[in-house]
Amino acid sequence: MATKDDLLEKLENEIHLFAVPPSEAADDFYLKRIGAMTAIKGELGNLPLTDEQVEMLMSFDNPLFGIEAVWTDPLRDIGEKSVSEAVAVYLIEAVSQYRRTLLYGKMKAEYDKYLAEVIEYLAKTNEISPIRLVNEAHEMAQKQSILLILEDDTAIDDRMVEILLSTEYPLDGIYQEWLDNDLSTKDMLLETMDGFVYQREKDLLCDYQNGEELPEYLMKRFDDMAQGDFNGDLTEDLEP
């Protein structure tokens, strides 16, 4: 586990990467940037950072640049206030994103392990049960869908991230919950089918009104609708 000293060394190296030869050091922009980065490093050195915050800052390529961007962002209205406020805002926002990154990495590793086990099983099995094959394909597809959801930062809130991070196997846990959920794939497909049928009927009605020939049962249906004798108007029942 990284220590506070490791972090300070990383921050010092980041400043050195930005450093320029003494002949160019008089530039106002350069002096302002060096001053900001040095001040931020000093603030981080004085703060009682948690182990998670240290690990998080160590995982970022250029944390000083990140905090400086927060400090100078006009939309945040930090302005010339204490650098400690910029550091605090950055840590709060960065921890949330860091945990989301950790969660995705954890669940991706869980998926990769599951996939490797499936491949190993298939390689060692001479005769594969069709039911087992279908079940594995379904599980792989659903777990991939769960991972895709995590790529959207707005899909789940911080509470969900923290709970899932504390779960030993969050990916499989969500999948098992999906299997037990009343909202099955069938329900979702039926809803999708309803939407398709609704749009398809509108298109067919438009074709009929434009004189195109349709199956007899559809023409009768549309005629009944036009006369107001039809009580089962699909376009109302299935409108999304």
List all residues 6 or more positions away from 107 whose beta carbon is below 8 Å from its beta carbon: 146, 147, 150, 164, 170, 171
> What is the C-alpha R_g of the chain?
29
Q: For residues 171 and 132, what is the distance between their CA atoms, to the nearest angstrom?
A: 20
Per residue in 89-126, pLDDT (tens digit) is: 888 888 888 999 999 999 999 999 999 999 998 888 88
Per residue in 53-80, pLDDT (tens digit) is: 999 999 998 999 999 888 888 877 766 5
Q: In the prediction, which pLDDT does 236 show?
A: 46
Nearest to 119 by CA among 136, 139, 105: 136
The CA angle 89-94-98, to the nearest 5 degrees, is: 160
Judge if pTM exceeds 0.75: no
Residue type, 158: D
CA end-to-end span of the chain: 53
- The domain ranges of the chain are 4-81, 100-181, 186-237
The answer to whether residues 15 and 38 touch, using CB atoms and an 8 Å cutoff, is yes
Helix, strand and coil percent figures for the chain, each rounded to 5? 75, 0, 25
Q: In the prediction, which pLDDT does 184 show?
A: 62
Nearest to 70 by CA among 88, 90, 53: 90
Residue 114 CA from chain centroid, whole number: 21
**pLDDT lower than 50: segments of the chain:** 230-240
79: left (phi over 0), alpha (psi -120 to 50) or beta: left
Q: In the prediction, which pLDDT does 133 show?
A: 87
Length of the chain: 240
b or e along 62-74 (b: 16 or more beta carbons within 10 Å of the residue's beta carbon)? ebbbbbbebbeee
